[in-house]
Structure 1
Amino acid sequence: MLPVRLAFILIANSPIAPAMSHRPTLVFVPGAWHGPETWNKVSAEIEAHEYKCVRVALPSTLSDPAATFADDVRAVRAAIAAETTQGRDVVVVVHSYGGHVGSSAVRGLTRTAQGAASSAGGPSGHVVGIAMMATGFTVTGVSFVDGLGGKPPPEWAADEQAGFAVIVADARALFYHDLPADEGARWVDRLRKQALKPLMEGGEHAYSGWKDVPVWFLATTEDKALPLQAQHVFVQAARDAGADVTLRGVASSHSPMLSRPKETADFILQAVASFTSR
């Protein structure tokens, strides 16, 4: 009979991983002007259910006007690959502009229809689904602004000399109107400089990853940045293009992860359960 200590060491180092390792990792992608801390409330709720959460900081929000859309995509791909190369599946959670980045970042990292390894090659985990909220559906080869009609919306302007996208609307009303006034003001103070290039250029790196995996979409019914009607149009267009989209809603501003963290976390957990049951 093996000594208890040796038996424990052998079990701990055996190929049988603890239950948590069978759960997918959640990779969170924030929107423009926002840092990864915007996901802290939601990720705390989800981590309580023993999921690993990875919050990505987009290079375009790090005060560098030279940052590109390709840089943002690479940052998210690196976060995904750090998990999939260890054999862990991934669910990508995206918000607003982060949907454009996250959808593009999953290229080649999903499981094929036949269940074989993707073009990433080798034994690995895969992206098994995308949880989207308050965002659009990226079209392959089309930049973020081109997807909006070719020019910035009236809420922000292009400062081409400085190389940043500048919010010209009331940011608290635009993003956080359903938060207490003091908390909304704090989030306004935390808004970051947003490089202009990733919003205006980089269509060659854009990819409709939402066609490759199932999607759950959380519509924000009180959104003043992306009206509910537009969100429904986007979802229907994606479905018409062949996407597998499950639609849910929450009475929230453009930032449900801040104003409705419990409901948002519940939505994500339901999405994960659906993705992993297939």
Structure 2
Amino acid sequence: MSGKPTLVFVHGSWHHTDTWHKIALLLEAQQYRCIRVALPSGASDPSAGLPEDVKAVRDSIVAETSQGRNVVVVVHSYGGLVGSSAVKGLTRNKQDGSSPAESTSGHVIGIVMLATGFAQTGLSFMEGLGGPPPPIWEMNQQTGFVDLVANSRQLFYHDLPVEEGDYWVTRLTQQSIKALVEGGGSVYSGWKDTPVWYLATIQDQALPFEAQKFFVQSAKEAGGDVTLREIDSSHSPMLSKPKETVDFILEAVKAFEA
């Protein structure tokens, strides 16, 4: 394969594709093709679930690989579950570099993970969590959406200037319950099939830093090829520290291409 890989971005719950705007501009300036996937479960449709999210990402990946382009999937928060599941059968064989079972010209050559967990094949988001819903959100059975009950700016954007943090709060969407409690049959541990670079967020108020390090260690013990880096940021490093996040992504891409 020649040319730079396409970067396919997968946002987290309650968020828009514009979450990626800052870093996509910086990467596009360096001639990277950036595809920002909108997840159906975050588009104010309570009937949309995890299978629809996985399909949206997979379709975006295949649109690139079928044209002979390699892909790096960049995921954040809930997007980690979706992105990992979407790469099934599309990665290079880790042992000998041969093509996967599905015939494509390009392949997924790596996953970049930002403040997220590691998908467990067959387990939904809540099943993988292994406990009750976090106290920061509640399931509203009347609307079919998950309601944030914590201070959203403090949760996601506390290291941004107040005005900018408040702006991003206004951009938050609704997240379907269905995507978090159902759809385990669509979940796949794709991170076992391709190298992963993980950026752990030290000041994270949504997914504690220590939990992230535990996830990474568990993934390594399960056979994952995971490289860990840390950043002194909130849950949203792509917004508060875009240059540092881009530098991390570029370092990861270079390693994937080696």
Match of 1:239 in 2: 220
Match of 1:260 in 2: 241
Tell which structure's C-alpha radius of gyration is larger: 1
> Counterparts of 1:68 and 1:173 in 2: how far apart (Å)?
27
Give how far 1:150 is off: 3.6
Give 5+ residue unaligned stretches, structure 1.
1-16
Match of 2:192 in 1: 211
Q: Does 1:76 align with 2:57?
A: yes
Percent of paired sites with the same residue: 61
Give how far 1:151 is off: 2.5
Give how far 1:106 is off: 0.3
> Counterparts of 1:39 and 1:119 in 2: how far apart (Å)?
31
Q: Does 1:116 align with 2:98?
A: yes
> Counterparts of 2:22 and 2:137 in 1: how far apart (Å)?
27
Match of 1:269 in 2: 250
> Counterparts of 1:119 and 1:195 in 2: how far apart (Å)?
33
> Counterparts of 1:148 and 1:164 in 2: how far apart (Å)?
18
Match of 2:180 in 1: 199
Matched ranges for 1:139-178 at <5 A: 139-178=120-159
Give 5+ residue unaligned stretches, structure 2.
none
Give how far 1:114 is off: 2.4
Corresponding residue SS for 1:120? coil
With 106-115 and 255-264 compared, the bigger mean Cα shift is at 106-115
Counterpart residue type for residue 211 of structure 2: A
Counterpart residue type for residue 98 of structure 2: A
> Counterparts of 1:237 and 1:48 in 2: how far apart (Å)?
36
Match of 2:47 in 1: 66
Report the TM-score when normalising by structure 1.
0.91
Counterpart residue type for residue 246 of structure 2: A
Report the TM-score when normalising by structure 2.
0.98
Match of 2:162 in 1: 181
Q: How many residues align?
A: 257
Match of 1:133 in 2: 114
> Counterparts of 2:131 and 2:143 in 1: how far apart (Å)?
20
Q: Does 1:86 align with 2:94?
A: no
Corresponding residue SS for 2:92? coil
CA deviations over 1:78-111 (Å, ceiling 9, x no partner): 1100100001000000000000000000001111
Give how far 1:38 is off: 0.2
> Counterparts of 1:247 and 1:128 in 2: how far apart (Å)?
17
Supply the RMSD in Å over aligned alpha carbons. 1.1
